Amino acid sequence: MYSHDSYLDPAAGPQKEIKKQLGLDAKFVIHDALTLDAALNPDFSEIGTDDPKVQVNQRFEVIFPERRPFFLENASIFVMPEQLFFSRRIVNPQYGVKLTGSLGRWSVGALASDDRAPGQVLAQGQVGHGDRAMDGVFRVEREFGHQSHVGLFLGGTALTQGIVIKRKVTLATRTVGDLTSQDSCVTNDEMTNVFTAATAVFQPYSPNSMTLTVTSLNVDKDGNATVEWSDKTVNGGARETGRSTGSTYPLPDGVNTPNTHVILAEGSYTYTPIVSTSFMTTVPLSETFYLRPRRVQTITRVATTCPT
């Protein structure tokens, strides 16, 4: 898809914007029984607009008809007496895969797609901004006798949980940095307690797939930061050594003030959506905080007993 737009910006004057986006639509017929449709960056610009409907103070969801070919073709397999699947809820997909067809008396249908719209409506800086939903449905139906059938429908959307877990990663990472920056000397037992507190913040989710790291950085006269000490916990396990002592870390501008010390708190989590596809089986979540020691210039790290 190629678009060339011209518009007037009140502040900057006439502007031009060029967008280029590669798209792909593919269809495969398997043994004259199953049809596999795939779409990458589908272009729905030629689809007609919806007729206006009043959407203010509605007690029920406003239903617009589906006109997009990818979702419309062979959509009858997903039609049931009760509308359990409404494809228009998938607003802005980047990719999608659909398998439909019949095998003897069996009819099957499966669809997996992402949706960028939920993350786009969130403001810049909000948790979940830029995230996408993962949608998946599966339907199987068996015909019996004359016009009798029984079927099974499964469906799900994975976005809300991902946003909540992202927020939990942020809270756990901030807890590690905040508790450490308030101390003047940290022992092994105290560091273990810090990680335990952060893991508790992450509840009710399991700390498996989560790594928390806290590091003390020394910033020299030229603004270069090196590791003084570092600890981490992986999957909620025992404390272990984090970043290598003496290694460098690229602090961003504004944080690398010469002749200072910085507490670096890092958190990462590998999120597995409820609905996974071959395109996206896991989603990496991460957070980073930079804090100044609050009570002393530099926080001492010892094994057992802090000096008095």
Instruction: Write the pLDDT tens digit of every residue in 100-130.
Output: 999 988 999 999 998 888 777 666 655 566 7
3-state secondary structure of 5: strand
- 250 vs 50, more confident: 250
What local confidence, expressed as pLDDT, does residue 191 receive? 95
pTM higher than 0.85: no
What local confidence, expressed as pLDDT, does residue 180 receive? 96
Mean pLDDT of 38-59: 73
CB-CB contact of 210 with 188 (8 Å) = no
Percentages (nearest 5) of helix, strand, coil residues in the chain: 15, 40, 45
3-state secondary structure of 168: helix
What local confidence, expressed as pLDDT, does residue 85 receive? 86
Give yes or no for residue 36 having a pLDDT over 60: yes
Give yes or no for residue 214 having a pLDDT over 70: yes
Mean pLDDT of 182-201: 94
Give yes or no for residue 279 having a pLDDT over 50: no
What local confidence, expressed as pLDDT, does residue 278 receive? 47
Transcribe 272-305 into DSSP letters: --SS--SS-S-EEEEEEEEE--SSSSS-EE-SS-
Mean pLDDT of 53-74: 75
Strands (E), 94-175: 95-103, 106-115, 133-144, 148-158
Sequence-separated (6 or more) residues with CB below 8 Å from residue 253: none
Sequence-separated (6 or more) residues with CB below 8 Å from residue 256: 219, 223, 224, 225
Radius of gyration of the chain (CA): 27
Q: What is the DSSP letter of 155?
A: E
Sequence-separated (6 or more) residues with CB below 8 Å from residue 8: 14, 15
Give yes or no for residue 55 having a pLDDT over 80: no
What local confidence, expressed as pLDDT, does residue 147 receive? 78
What local confidence, expressed as pLDDT, does residue 274 receive? 58
Give yes or no for residue 294 having a pLDDT over 70: yes
**Per-residue pLDDT band at 29 (split at 50, 70, 90):** very high
Give yes or no for residue 158 having a pLDDT over 70: no
Across the chain, mean pLDDT equals: 85
Give yes or no for residue 228 having a pLDDT over 50: yes
**Of how many residues is the chain composed?**
308
Tell me which of 75-79, 172-176, 210-214, 270-274 is least confident: 270-274
Transcribe 193-236 into DSSP letters: HHHHHHHHHHTTS--TTEEEEEEEEEE-TTS-EEEEEEEEEETT
Q: Tokens 């101390």 map to which residue?
A: 183
Instruction: Give the span between the Cα atoms of 85 and 81, in whole angstroms.
Output: 11
CB-CB contact of 129 with 166 (8 Å) = no
Mean pLDDT of 58-86: 82
Per-residue model confidence as pLDDT tens digits over 234-277: 998 889 999 999 999 999 999 999 999 999 999 999 987 655 54
Give yes or no for residue 208 having a pLDDT over 60: yes
Beta bridge partners of 284: 270
